[in-house]
Copies of this chain bind each other. A is one copy, B any other.
Amino acid sequence: MPLVRITARDSRSNAALDSLGDAVHTALVETLGVPPDDRFQIRARVPAEELVADPQYLGIDRRDPVIVEISLRAGRTVEMKRAFYARVVELADVRPEDVTIVLNENGPADWSFGNGIAQYAT
């Protein structure tokens, strides 16, 4: 269910994006109860000027920022989200300062995984 969108600068390789995608997915499985085969990701490597992140906001030293946006069903607790963020930077081969994550929650009827069916709706 989660749909993950990862945007990085093209200073990072495709392999680095693969690795970051793996880290995010593993963290989703371990901390938010996502099924291992529930993996949907869109990744983009963009010119540096197209990804703007303040280099010091909140006192964090960002050098080569990556932005991870995730749509997921509502229902996770604050503690689960905290565990998720921590696990991503633990697993990822990226400076922890460089990883910004944003979640957007929706509902069970807001997903169709193929065949025109709302598989999560009851």
- Report the contact-size class of chain A (Cβ under 8 Å from the partner): 35 or more
Shortest beta-carbon contacts, A-B, top 9: A89-B116, A103-B110, A60-B114, A85-B112, A86-B116, A41-B52, A101-B112, A78-B109, A97-B114
Interface of A toward B, CB cutoff 8 Å: 3, 7, 14, 17-18, 21, 35, 37-44, 46, 49-54, 56-58, 60, 62, 67, 69, 71, 78, 81-82, 85-90, 96-107, 109-119, 121
Complex CA gap A39/B78 in Å reads 24
Complex CA gap A55/B46 in Å reads 27
22 contacting pairs across A/B (C-beta < 8 A): A17-B50, A18-B49, A21-B52, A37-B54, A37-B56, A39-B53, A40-B53, A41-B52, A42-B51, A43-B49, A43-B51, A43-B52, A44-B50, A62-B114, A82-B118, A85-B117, A86-B116, A88-B116, A99-B115, A102-B110, A102-B111, A103-B110
Number of copies: 3
Q: Which residues of B contact A7 (CB under 8 A)?
A: 42
| B40-A118 in contact (CB<8A) | no
Q: Which residues of B contact A14 (CB under 8 A)?
A: 49
